[in-house]
């Protein structure tokens, strides 16, 4: 009886710790999901191979209680989400290298996949079924769809927009002083924004750095 109580207590604390870790990871993702990253053939292939390998290992070791038609539907659903996410990801060439940046659609796709995972988890607990592979099937399909589409876009480098690297201000300019060495602060530039996408413009820009629209 004591062992059963101790095990229940341990599992309760494990759930608390898992929940806290999940919150930390979610907050970290919300803070960094729009971070600009390098994009390459290797990074896309790794993002596809690892979840596919994990899915195969899970299916061999754990198995599934879901019928094949349900797994196929989950894969198709995840693939559609992944393709949409890959299409909405911003990709461009900067300094001769491909760059990528997630958009708000990344969060939407993540929220849908998370809701699906929680729904399958509740279904599995209620019916005592092994449905974990269902959420893995959907998440793997999202990775295959999004990264696969990014691979296709990378193969068409000539169609990707070009961006100039952001100018790095000198230490004097960063502190608000003129380059002439005067101690008087430079007059702040009037902030301007793109009329097409709303991105902030840098003085002197003739094209928006985000959507390449002509600055009017």
169-193 residue pLDDT tens: 555 455 555 444 444 444 455 667 7
Q: What does the pLDDT read at residue 46?
A: 93
Q: What does the pLDDT read at residue 58?
A: 85
Helix, strand, or coil (residue 185)? strand
Average pLDDT over residues 111-124: 84
Highest mean pLDDT among 3-7, 195-199, 204-208: 204-208
Average pLDDT over residues 201-213: 79
What percentage of the chain reaches a pLDDT higher than 90? 31
Average pLDDT over residues 60-79: 87
Question: Could you identify the residue written with the tokens 């059963």?
Answer: 4
Cα torsion 100, 104, 109, 111: sign: positive
The C-alpha atoms of residue 194 and residue 94 are separated, in whole angstroms, by: 20
The C-alpha atoms of residue 15 and residue 9 are separated, in whole angstroms, by: 10
The C-alpha atoms of residue 115 and residue 33 are separated, in whole angstroms, by: 19
Q: What is the pLDDT of residues 141-165, one digit of tens each?
A: 999 999 999 999 998 888 888 887 7
For the whole prediction, is pTM greater than 0.85? no
Q: What does the pLDDT read at residue 216?
A: 73
- The H or E element spanning position 58 is helix 41-61
Q: What is the pLDDT of residues 119-143, one digit of tens each?
A: 887 877 776 667 778 888 999 999 9
């Amino acid at each position: 009886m004591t062992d059963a109580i101790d095990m229940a207590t341990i599992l309760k604390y494990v759930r608390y710790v898992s929940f806290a870790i999940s919150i930390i990871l979610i907050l970290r993702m919300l803070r960094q999901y729009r971070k600009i990253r390098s994009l390459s053939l290797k990074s896309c292939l790794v993002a596809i191979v690892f979840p596919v390998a994990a899915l195969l290992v899970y299916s061999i070791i754990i198995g599934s209680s879901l019928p094949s038609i349900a797994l196929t539907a989950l894969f198709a659903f995840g693939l559609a989400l992944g393709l949409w996410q890959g299409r909405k990801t911003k990709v461009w060439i900067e300094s001769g290298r491909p760059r990528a940046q997630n958009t708000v659609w990344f969060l939407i796709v993540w929220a849908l996949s998370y809701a699906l995972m929680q729904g399958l988890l509740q279904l599995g607990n209620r019916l005592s079924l092994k449905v974990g592979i269902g959420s893995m099937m959907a998440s793997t399909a999202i990775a295959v769809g999004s990264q696969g589409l990014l691979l296709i876009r990378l193969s068409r480098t000539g169609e990707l927009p070009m961006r100039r690297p952001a100018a790095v201000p000198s230490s004097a300019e960063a502190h608000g002083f003129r380059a002439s060495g005067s101690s008087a602060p430079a007059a702040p530039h009037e902030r301007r924004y793109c009329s097409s996408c709303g991105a902030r413009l840098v003085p002197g820009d003739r094209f928006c750095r985000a959507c390449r629209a002509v600055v009017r």
